[in-house]
Amino acid sequence: MSQSTDPASSFLKDQVGIDENLHAGIFVALQTVYGKQIEVSHLKSFGIEGLKALAESVKLEQRDRPRSNHRPFKMIHFRIPHHKSAFDLPWRLGDSILDVAKSPDGALLLGEYMEGTCGGQKSCCTCHVYLDEKLLSLVPPPDKGELDMLDLAYEPNMESRLGCQIRLTPDLLQQIDNDSPVTVTIPADVNNVWT
Amino acid sequence: MSALLCRVSRLRLQPSVRLSSFIYSLKFDLTHVPSRKTLLVNRKCFSSYKIAIVGSGPAGCYSAKYLKSSLDKQQHRAQIDVIERLPTPFGLVRYGVAPDHPEVKNVQNDFAALFEGTDESMETVNVRFLGNVKVGWDVTVTELRSIYDVVLLAYGCESDRRLILPGSHLPQILSAREFVAWYNGHPDFVHVGEQVSKALQVTAADTVESVRNAHVVVIGHGNVALDCARILAKGGQNLHDTDIASHTFPVIGGGISRISVIGRRGPIQGAFTIKEIRELVRLQREGYGTSFRVSPQELKAGMNESSLQEMEGLAGRPKQRICDLLQKAAASASETSECEKRVDLRFFLKPLRFETKEDDPSRLSAVICEKTALRGEPGRQKAIGTGEYESLYADLVLVSIGYKGTALRGVEPFFDEEIGIVRNRNGKVDHSNDFECGLYVAGWLKRGPSGIIGTNIPDAKDTVASIMQDLQVTKPRVQRAGDIDSILAERKIQVVVWEDYKRLDDYEQTHKRSDNQPREKVVSIKLQLEAALKFY
């Protein structure tokens, strides 16, 4: 779907700052009000704050709705050094690393290592992982909120990220080699707030 | 099928065996009917461990979760009863987490999944919620130990570390724990509102929007202290769309004009975390009409040699980031415009006594503090008095120097009164064989009142590992002095089971003051029970 040439999509992305993967959901919602074709004028009359709020609820809806398994994916090689185990799991387009841990296959293997207590809202550090160098260089750097939570994590280092913030985008999908899978390492413990 | 039933009835099965699950296990193998000998040998697979967890907060729920998965993996059958004093589960997740931190409460969904509709005949490990049952009154720990195989104490900290100073008995001095429980609608702390109202001298002229012209001093440098400051600064009305209790509105109104958070040591030693500091710094920018102040001199004093060493390396990075944030806040203070409300984060102040008003010795007037300086090695610095004093005007004081555990009857022999925890080794409490029932502990009652919700994850895993180790060599007990359901029924205790709580949960989510609220909490036990136990 080439939404990049669509003026409404560009408006949402550039003027309002809403991520591309939420555009489809927003258009569907607005179609109930404005009919099939969503124009920039429709978006403007909805208001910037209104569009942002709509984006948030689309985000939540996407998070809660079961995702199709027939999406393109890359393999992640998970390592758990302190339990001497390693295994591979599919990382599907649109999912975060925490989503992988919560998927039916992932839950069996990773469930107890990545609780995701706050549900992916950067309000805990139970999805703390160490990324390999390659992946670390490809993903956008952490923002202050994520860094604040990493401060509370168990033995954070320069490769530390919150799994809920590392998402497989269409761009990232292109940039990951099929030959060298991504490696994600699970820290030896969870939550060591200094006390 | 009836032929099989006849066979079963001739066997002497333990009372705890569920006939339905026995039949179910044969359901898919009707062609091969086990011989009587096989069935007798397999008997031990069918008897259940009975486990009681006292407390349904994060410690109790994570323990239940990991116990269930460990028992499932080893194919043991078990019944886990999570016994809770209040009609509502989840402990501090409901009554401790601040109303403006709703995402932290998401963990309730994970915990709810434990109790959700488990079909008893299908599950090998069944987890039940038994609310409104007060262990220590309705049933004692000793009685629990005579009917269960395992008793796990996870009831947290219900008291405070005390600050005993001249004047600390004054009614205008409260523990932060009580204040937090009050704004979070805890049924046992509704009375705190009147105390706060009197301290702030709220009159009929004060509306729910107006700022209260008063000074509040919060003593302590942890996240609870910062939560109190932030809630007081925002005020009830600004939190209208949260689950803050409605009874806060007439009391704290549009917020308090002057709030000081004080502690004995410096910014590097503070127990608070950066997220909560950031929220205070951002109050003005986010439209709460509150400026945030920290003293450049105090920050400088906090950068002594030992403190600089405490900030080094990866381990020191969190402290470094807090320091950077506070320095930026101190530098930009001159740029911020005057606000009606102000929060001061103060360091190096040790409270010595509480002074009363000259014309009214029943009213607090000020907190007299001694200025301190840091002495000692990195990681072990102490605050030493300097002989200089400062008087902080105060209408209300919230003491936030730590929660503290208490001992239920039957637990005293194992309780450390000074620290307020139950003595244990990896969560195992009683190493004697006085009961046919192991005693364990998890959560704050085990390690002290520190950490965040997630800190209970490794804590619970540690205790569960101890329990599983012991269960390897223990079969479910044969002699039980009864079962919990009969005992509670006999004593006419109105147990709130999970289905009942869901009714109350639904009520709270449908009887809201605002559509954007997650829920409007019911703040009396009586009304909670009415909503929960109503039969339609």
Domains of chain B: 49-158+405-533 (3.40.50.720), 161-403 (3.50.50.60)
How does pLDDT run across B149-194, given as a tens digit for each residue? 999 999 999 999 999 999 999 999 999 999 999 999 999 999 999 9
Cα dihedral B330, B334, B337, B340 in deg (nearest 10): 60
pLDDT greater than 80 at residue B508:
yes
pLDDT greater than 60 at residue B3:
no
Task: Among A54-68, A71-85, B62-76, B369-383, name the one with the lowest average pLDDT.
Answer: A54-68
Domain coordinates in residue numbering, chain A: 3-64, 72-185
How far is Cα B14 from Cα B21, in angstroms, rounded to an integer? 14
Annotated binding site of B for FAD: 59, 84, 92, 135, 444, 451-453
Give the highest mean pLDDT range of A46-60, B308-322, B377-391: B377-391
- DSSP code of residue A82: G
- DSSP readout, B56-121? -SHHHHHHHHHHHHHHHHTT-EEEEEEE-SSSS-STHHHHTS-TT-GGGGGHHHHHHHHHS---TT
Q: Inter-chain contact A191–B107, Cβ cutoff 8 Å?
A: no
How far is Cα A9 from Cα A38, in angstroms, rounded to an integer? 9
H or E stretch covering B26? helix B19-27
Which residues of chain A are within 8 Å of residue B271 when distances are taken between CB atoms?
Answer: 195
How far is Cα B492 from Cα B308, in angstroms, rounded to an integer? 61
How far is Cα A191 from Cα B283, in angstroms, rounded to an integer? 28
Residue B99 CB contacts under 8 Å (≥ 6 apart), including other chains: B183, B184, B231, B239, B242, B243, B244
Which residues of chain A are within 8 Å of residue B103 when distances are taken between CB atoms?
Answer: 118-119, 121, 123
Q: For the residues B337-345, what does the mean pLDDT come to?
A: 91
- DSSP code of residue A165: G
Amino acid identity, position B379: G
Residue A49 CB contacts under 8 Å (≥ 6 apart), including other chains: none
pLDDT greater than 90 at residue B13:
no
Q: Inter-chain contact A151–B318, Cβ cutoff 8 Å?
A: yes
pLDDT greater than 90 at residue B7:
no
Q: Do residues B311 and B320 lie in contact, with contact meaning Cβ atoms separated by under 8 Å?
A: yes
Average pLDDT, chain A: 85
Task: State the Cα angle at B46 between B43 and B47, rounded to 5°.
Answer: 100
Which residues of chain B are within 8 Å of residue A191 when distances are taken between CB atoms?
Answer: 451-452, 454-455, 457-458
pLDDT greater than 70 at residue B535:
no
pLDDT greater than 70 at residue B39:
no
Average pLDDT, chain B: 90
Of B265, B262, B269, nearest in space to B311 by CA: B269
Best of B274, B325, B468 to substitute, by most chain A Cβ atoms within 10 angstroms, is B274
- Give the SS3 label for residue A152: coil
The class that CATH gives domain A72-185 is alpha beta
Distance, C-alpha A159 to centroid of its chain: 17
